[in-house]
Structure formats: structure tokens, C-alpha cells
Amino acid sequence: MKERKWISKTDGIVLGVLVLFAAGFLLWRAVAAQPGMRAVVTVDGEAVLQIDLQSAEDAQSYTLQNGVRLIAENHTVRFAASDCPDGICVETGALQKVGESAACVPNRTVVTVVGGEPRDVDVIAY
């Protein structure tokens, strides 16, 4: 019986489209991305915390209700500790540019770096 081809023209088109789209997007992000202003932390889809990255020089530690710990320093933010089995969130490392994000899926927590206006308060009381 004749086996299906190794690779066909259609495959080429599929690959081409994928690679073009993906590479283009990544390139755009790498070039056009601004250093982030703030990091938005969401748990279960709700924003629970916003960290001002602009003013984050010395280490600032944040602990969420679900036990996840974040550290902001040198205008970056990262997962510092979490009780999830894989620890991928912590492995992701420091986030700095607009659009970069890290997630701890077992804890339903996502940290995304966003741009926007600089916030001129040191903290928000709520």
C-alpha cells in the first residue's frame, strides 16, 4: 500500500504560515517592547495586586493569599516561591518588558507586565 508522503507542498504552506506568523510576532515583541511600568497580578482572573516596576529598585516582596510569593527588584518582577509541583513559575525568571508574563497554573496566578502611565504614589490603601 502506498504510504502517505514524507512532506508535501501543503505541508510547506502550513509550516511557512506558522513560522512567519510566529517569528514575526516574536521579532516585533523583542524590538518594540518597552520596559514595563507595572506588573499586574491576577488570581482566578481577578486583578489582586499591581506592582510598580518603575520605582522598584530595592527588593520588594509580595505574598498572595494562595501562598505565592513574588519579588520585585531592579524594575523586574518574578515568582520567588510557590507550592506548586512543577515550579515552572519560579523557573520562568524575571519579567521586565511589556507583554512578558509568567504563570503558576496550579495556583491560578498570572503576572503580566504592562505599560501605561507611571503611578506616582508609593502604595495604595484599600
Asked whether position 1 contacts other proteins by CB under 8 A, the answer is: yes
Asked whether position 53 contacts other proteins by CB under 8 A, the answer is: no
- C-alpha cell, 85: 509541583
Residues 55, 65: Cα–Cα separation, whole Å: 24
Asked whether position 31 contacts other proteins by CB under 8 A, the answer is: no
Residues 1, 16: Cα–Cα separation, whole Å: 30
Shorter beta-carbon distance to other proteins: residue 31 or 123? 123
Asked whether position 117 contacts other proteins by CB under 8 A, the answer is: no
Q: Which of 54, 92, 97, 115 contacts other proteins by CB under 8 A?
A: 92
CB atoms within 10 A of CB 113: 25
For residue 73, the minimal CB distance to other proteins (Å) is: 7
